[in-house]
Copies of this chain bind each other. A is one copy, B any other.
Amino acid sequence: MSAFPVDDRNRIRRKPQRGSYEREVVYAILDEALYCHVGFVEDGWPIVIPILHARQDDTLYLHGARASRLLKHVAAGHPVCVAATLLDGLVLARSVFHHSLNYRSAVVFGHGRPVEGAEKREALRLLTEHVARGRWDEARLPTPQEEEATAVVAIAIERASAKIRSGPPVDDEADYDRPIWAGVVPVVQAFLDPIPDPRLPADIPLPASLRDHRRRSRLP
């Protein structure tokens, strides 16, 4: 896969050695993150809203109620910024100055558009599969009325960058002799045992979409 174009908007300025513009790096972060933060501008103010997303190629899909301010704004074609972040660890250095976090983040810039018709149905499938792979084939599918009540928007990824920090702390050479604990506390997003709905009959087994859900946890 190729890299995204770079300009002043998406260029990584601080610690560029941690940055990447490669599609495969940006895609991997967007696909692992369950939700993203969408930024837009309204009356001169930035607004940042968390929302579920799904990606296909250079397109991000979002969905929600027709009345959603965020979705109306994106559908209108205004500039949008989307950030997805995965926290991987607390980095405890010997000095306060070199404390940090390990993370993988993607920041995307583009313009939105409304999505209708066959693409809308496919976007709803991608968004459902993003929550739990295989779920589209298990759940009751949307009726025409439900589809009508749902707004789907697409954001074309025009610029993007990823930034990644990993590994142990990096201290000043003179500090390595200090008797101060240093290292990393790994942080993972863990998926725990599913809790059946209170009204679920006892004879309905766990669905295929959840059978490997613990694998997503990256637990040791």
Contacts and interface: CB of A to CB of B under 8 A. Distances in A.
Contacts of A48: 37-39, 46, 48, 81-83, 107
A5 interface: no
Given A9-B45, A132-B90, A37 B96 contact: no
B197 A186 contact: no
A28 to B, nearest CB: 16
A150 B97 contact: yes
Contacts of A64: 14
Task: Find the residue from A39, A49, A93, A219 having the highest chain B CB count within 10 A.
Answer: A39
Interface of A is mostly: mixed
Given A168-B198, A192-B220, 6 more contacts: A14-B67, A96-B139, A96-B140, A140-B180, A169-B197, A183-B195
27 contacts: A13-B67, A35-B101, A35-B103, A39-B48, A41-B41, A41-B45, A46-B81, A47-B81, A48-B48, A49-B107, A92-B209, A93-B139, A96-B142, A97-B143, A99-B135, A138-B180, A138-B181, A139-B180, A168-B195, A168-B198, A181-B204, A184-B197, A186-B191, A187-B190, A187-B192, A190-B217, A190-B219
